[in-house]
Amino acid sequence: MKLPQGLVKELIGRKKPKLAEIELTLFENCDVNCAFCGHDKKSIVGMEQAEMLSKIPLIANFLDSMDEDVSMVNLHLVGGELLQDRLLTSEKNILDDYTLLIEAYKKLCFERNIEPRVIVVSNMLTTRSEMVKEWFRKINETIYMRLIASYDLYGRPITKRYLENISFFKDFISNINVVVTKEAIEKLKEDDEVFEFLYQNFPIFMDDFLPDSWTQHMIPSDEEYLEYLQLVAEKYPKLMPFGDAISKLKSSQLNEIQFTTFNKCNILPNNMVTNYLWDRHRPDHFEGTVNYEDNSNMLFQFLEANQCLSCEYYVSCPLRCPVSWSWKNRQRSAGCVNKRFFDSVQK
């Protein structure tokens, strides 16, 4: 069954996030190759200044279509890798192009009475650390700009430089992002020294993995996802979003849905605008219907399959990423994994 977005929003009610998010992927180009990442790392689409600036009207359209009760908008600037060394040279410094884009974004926000916030997502491998930090200092004179530093327990290069950059940029890092693959869950069971360090020093968001057809072997089964949730409860209660959900559950506090769907858009390098999916994702990869512009039908399918609205944990549950959950080729168990997890922590 397919419902218009407005009706799904009504169903979700108070759990609808107040934070809007624009995920602007400028280009897919990257000089490393993480095992779980489906980007075309050799692609140069979107790397020219004119292509970057062509995103401005798309951002304006999104800002004008947001719900009125949104209290904050974050512009996530993403690649590929935006801070890769070969783009930060004395002949051509791509930070100047990002600055123009950020200035234009700031103007759009001011015209609409919105406070601009920019988040740059990076693999933290740059060796041009001084130059990048100076750029952060300069931009922060007029706009709040922070880094999301990615870390992964498996499939991502973590070097001495990475660790140095984490310390060097500490004050500009808002949080660490980790992707929950099957392999990452296995590694989480062992003691990972870097993960322990990051856990002690930064907020960490554990994001659901969205595979491609060639990485679908990495998507956790429901049973593995449950093992991951149990590790959060036993070892890592500060991890977001489930650590936070446990404390909210204990005090019956409201939790917004954590894998944002509403008031979120993805602007892709070729100027396609979606609600999370990429054009490389084919409808037959997913259960149910696929609508690239609006994935609220996937959320509706999730709510219906798990009978969330009549669930005792609904108020505090962060749910799961409905797009990743809808991936066809993954091992499913009967019943809701979150519910089995909350049952076990309630005992």
Ligand X SMILES: C[S@@+](CC[C@H](N)C(=O)[O-])C[C@H]1O[C@@H](n2cnc3c(N)ncnc32)[C@H](O)[C@@H]1O
Query: Token pair of 246, please?
Result: 């446990």
Residue keyed to tokens 């750029």: 135
In the list ligand X, ligand SF4, none, the entry touching 306 (Cβ below 5 to 8 angstroms by class) is: ligand SF4
What backbone torsions phi and psi does residue 115 show, to the nearest 5 degrees?
A: -85, 120
Among 36, 135, 169, 302, binds ligand X (CB under 6 A): 36
Which CB, 205 or 314, lies closer to ligand X?
A: 205
Instruction: Write down the least CB distance from residue 180 to ligand SF4, Å.
Output: 14
**Residues 108 to 127: which contact ligand X by CB under 6 A?**
121-123
Residue keyed to tokens 């988040």: 119
Contact 233, 341 (CB under 8 A): yes
Site for ligand SF4, rule CB under 6 A? 30, 32-34, 37, 39, 41, 79-81, 123, 156, 306, 308, 311, 313-314, 317, 319, 336, 338-339, 342
Among 24, 26, 47, 179, binds ligand X (CB under 6 A): 179
Which CB, 63 or 95, lies closer to ligand SF4?
A: 95
DSSP string of 204-263? EEEEEP---GGGGGGSPPHHHHHHHHHHHHHT-TT-BTHHHHHHHHHTT-----SS--TT
CA 179 to chain centre: 9
x/- string (CB under 6 A) for ligand X, residues 53-92?
Answer: -------------------------xx-x-----------
| DSSP letter, residue 24 | E
Instruction: Write down the least CB distance from residue 154 to ligand X, Å.
Output: 11
Alpha-carbon distance values, 28 to 40, 153, 225, 235 (Å)? 6, 22, 28, 35
Binding-residue total with ligand X (CB under 6 A): 18
Which CB, 5 or 306, lies closer to ligand SF4?
A: 306
Which CB, 20 or 37, lies closer to ligand X?
A: 37
Q: How far apart are the first and last CA of the chain?
A: 36
Residue keyed to tokens 């897919």: 28
In the list ligand SF4, ligand X, none, the entry touching 102 (Cβ below 5 to 8 angstroms by class) is: none
Strand, helix or coil at 38? coil
Among 40, 186, 192, 207, binds ligand X (CB under 6 A): 207
Which CB, 142 or 346, lies closer to ligand SF4?
A: 346
Q: Which secondary-structure segment (H or E) carries 22? A: strand 19-25
Q: What residue ranges bind ligand X (CB under 6 A)?
A: 30, 36-39, 78-79, 81, 121-123, 150, 152, 177, 179, 207, 209-210
